[in-house]
């Protein structure tokens, strides 16, 4: 099968439209993120909050996986942040403990946009983790107790049996947050917005933290 790139329409505008300074203040990347995320939620069919999380081991071996954004904003602690939750006995958590530098990537294919975020991860408070865990579906709460995330599994039946045991244990009871389950906040040092343009004439704007403010610049595609 021969794959070809999308051909632009004759009337398609090659000029910037979504990163114009008169449309979104370029001094605040969180405002621009809110704008793009809202459009993704209105247009993406599945998981518009899905993001790739890249971490690295102490030996600099990289790994990446998809997680879900569960909170974001400039008001989430000093420097703002982007929050996700996970089993803290998992591979990602062990890598974060040894090397908290990480990167996130949102890719909304239908909108032809990406957002890259780089920074340092720190744990959310136990109060935040408790509050979010309580909001999860009950089966998701039970699964957090049943799973030894990233550990070897002999067969799927073993996991399903553990899930059933946990379900019976908490039948008719409140499901507490496991001690090994919590969240992380990535405090951004750089945020880059990428918008596809015809003929690879893409538009990119990168924000970098400058003290309590942000500096921004356009980048060549």
- Is 136 annotated to bind a ligand? Reply is yes
| Percent of the chain surpassing pLDDT 90 | 73
* Catalytically active residues, by annotation: 200
Residue 32, token pair as written in the block: 């621009």
109, pLDDT greater than 80? yes
- Is 66 annotated to bind a ligand? Reply is yes
- Is 114 annotated to bind a ligand? Reply is yes
4, pLDDT greater than 80? no
3-state secondary structure of 5: coil
8 Å CB contact between 120 and 77: no
- Predicted confidence at residue 217, as pLDDT, reads 93
* Bridge partners, residue 63, by sequence: 55
- Predicted confidence at residue 12, as pLDDT, reads 52
- Predicted confidence at residue 21, as pLDDT, reads 43
Q: Does domain 29-129+181-219 have CATH number 2.30.110.10?
A: yes
- Confidence category of residue 15, pLDDT binned at 50, 70, 90: low
What is the b/e burial string over 192-213, where b = at least 16 CB atoms within 10 angstroms of the residue's CB? bbbbebeeeeebbbbbebeeee
Give the chain's length: 221
- Is 92 annotated to bind a ligand? Reply is yes
- Predicted confidence at residue 26, as pLDDT, reads 66
What is the mean predicted confidence (pLDDT) over 71-95?
A: 93
- What is the DSSP code string of 35-67? HHHHHHHHH-SS-TTEEEEEEE-TT--EEEEEE
- Is 149 annotated to bind a ligand? Reply is yes
Boundaries of every domain in the chain: 29-129+181-219
Quote the mean pLDDT of the chain: 89
- Is 68 annotated to bind a ligand? Reply is yes
What is the mean predicted confidence (pLDDT) over 90-118?
A: 95
- What is the DSSP code string of 65-111? EEEE--EEETTSSTT-EEEEEEETTSHHHHHHHH--EEEEEEEEGGG
What is the mean predicted confidence (pLDDT) over 162-191?
A: 96
8 Å CB contact between 51 and 92: no
Count of alpha carbons within 13 Å of 75, Cβ hemisphere only?
1
- Is 120 annotated to bind a ligand? Reply is no
- Predicted confidence at residue 58, as pLDDT, reads 87
* Bridge partners, residue 61, by sequence: none
Kindly report, residue by residue over 20-55, the tens digit of the pLDDT: 444 455 678 999 999 999 999 999 888 999 999 999
191, pLDDT greater than 80? yes
Q: Are strands 81-87 and 181-195 parallel, antiparallel or unpaired?
A: antiparallel
Q: Check residue 202 and report its DSSP letter.
A: -
- Confidence category of residue 13, pLDDT binned at 50, 70, 90: low
Which residues contact residue 52 at a Cβ distance below 8 angstroms, ignoring those fewer than 6 apart? Answer: 64, 65, 66, 104, 105, 107
What is the mean predicted confidence (pLDDT) over 137-151?
A: 92
What is the mean predicted confidence (pLDDT) over 109-127?
A: 96
What is the mean predicted confidence (pLDDT) over 139-152?
A: 91
Mean pLDDT is lowest, of 1-15, 31-45, 139-153, 154-168, for 1-15
């Amino acid at each position: 099968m021969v794959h070809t790139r999308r051909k632009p329409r004759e009337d398609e505008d090659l000029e910037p439209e979504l990163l114009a300074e008169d449309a979104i203040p370029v001094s605040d990347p969180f405002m621009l993120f809110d704008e793009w995320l809202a459009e993704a939620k209105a247009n993406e069919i599945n998981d518009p909050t899905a993001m790739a999380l890249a971490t690295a081991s102490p030996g600099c071996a990289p790994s990446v996986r998809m997680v879900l954004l569960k909170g974001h904003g400039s008001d989430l602690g000093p420097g703002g942040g982007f929050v996700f939750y996970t089993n803290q006995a998992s591979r990602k958590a062990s890598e974060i403990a040894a090397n908290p530098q990480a990167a996130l990537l949102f890719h909304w294919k239908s909108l032809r946009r990406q957002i890259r975020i780089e920074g340092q991860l720190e744990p959310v408070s136990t109060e935040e983790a408790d509050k979010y865990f309580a909001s999860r579906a009950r089966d998701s709460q039970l699964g957090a107790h049943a799973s030894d995330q990233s550990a070897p599994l002999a067969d799927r039946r073993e996991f399903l049996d553990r899930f059933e045991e946990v379900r019976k244990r908490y039948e008719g009871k409140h499901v507490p947050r496991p001690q090994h389950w919590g969240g992380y906040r990535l405090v951004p040092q750089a945020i880059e917005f990428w918008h596809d343009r015809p003929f690879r004439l893409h538009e990119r704007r990168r924000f970098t933290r400058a003290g309590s403010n942000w500096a921004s610049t356009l980048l060549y595609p």
